[in-house]
Amino acid sequence: MIERTLLSETEIGTRLDELAKEIDERYAGQEILAVGILKGSVFFLTDLLKRLKTPVAVDFLQVRSYSGTSSTGNIQMVHDLSTDIEGRHVLLFEDVVDTGLTLRKILELFSSRHPASLRIAALLKKDIPENRDLSLDFVGFTIGPEFVIGYGLDLDEKYRNLPYVAVWRPEK
Strand order, beta sheet including 148-149 = 2-7, 165-168, 148-149
Strand order, beta sheet including 70-79 = 70-79, 56-67, 32-38, 89-97, 117-126, 138-143
Q: Which residues does 24 contact at the CB level (< 8 Å), separation at least 6? A: 52, 53, 54
Asked if 165 and 124 touch (Cβ cutoff 8 Å), the reply is yes
Q: How many CB atoms lie within 10 A of CB 130?
A: 14
Annotated catalytic residues are 98
